Amino acid sequence: AQSVTQLGSHVSVSEGALVLLRCNYSSSVPPYLFWYVQYPNQGLQLLLKYTSAATLVKGINGFEAEFKKSETSFHLTKPSAHMSDAAEYFCAVSEPANYGGSQGNLIFGKGTKLSVKP
């Protein structure tokens, strides 16, 4: 069974500081991995996704994530935080269809709320 663990339900950084949001996954087959962002009073939107190509994935708004199989991790980073990055971030995992998974079916972590201080 797949699962996702996001370390830290709240993370606070200063504007201009490095953002690091942690995600560890569990999957019996090579997974597809995703980061979604939820701004206040909105639905979620896709930030980036990993589907077994390059291990370093670049997303929107300057975010990127690195797939590390040995650590079963997919941490999200951004070199310099901006006030507009304040939101809740969700890591998600799915199993590709060629491994018997329902490829569109995502399992989400519990989310990490990012605060950015001026």
Partner 1 sequence: EAQVTQNPRYLITVTGKKLTVTCSQNMNHEYMSWYRQDPGLGLRQIYYSMNVEVTDKGDVPEGYKVSRKEKRNFPLILESPSPNQTSLYFCASSPAGTGELFFGEGSRLTVL
| Per CB under 8 A, 45 contacts partner 1 | yes
Spatial distance between the Cα atoms of 91 and 36, rounded to a whole number of angstroms: 6
Spatial distance between the Cα atoms of 42 and 100, rounded to a whole number of angstroms: 32
List 49, 59, 66, 86, residue binding partner 1 (CB under 8 A)? 49
Q: Which is nearer to partner 1, 77 or 103 (CB)?
A: 103
| Per CB under 8 A, 9 contacts partner 1 | yes
Q: How far is the CB of 77 from partner 1 (least distance, A)?
A: 21
Type of residue found at 117:
K
Spatial distance between the Cα atoms of 83 and 8, rounded to a whole number of angstroms: 20
List 11, 111, 114, 116, residue binding partner 1 (CB under 8 A)? 111
Spatial distance between the Cα atoms of 65 and 63, rounded to a whole number of angstroms: 7
Q: How far is the CB of 49 from partner 1 (least distance, A)?
A: 7
Q: Which is nearer to partner 1, 3 or 80 (CB)?
A: 3
Type of residue found at 43:
G
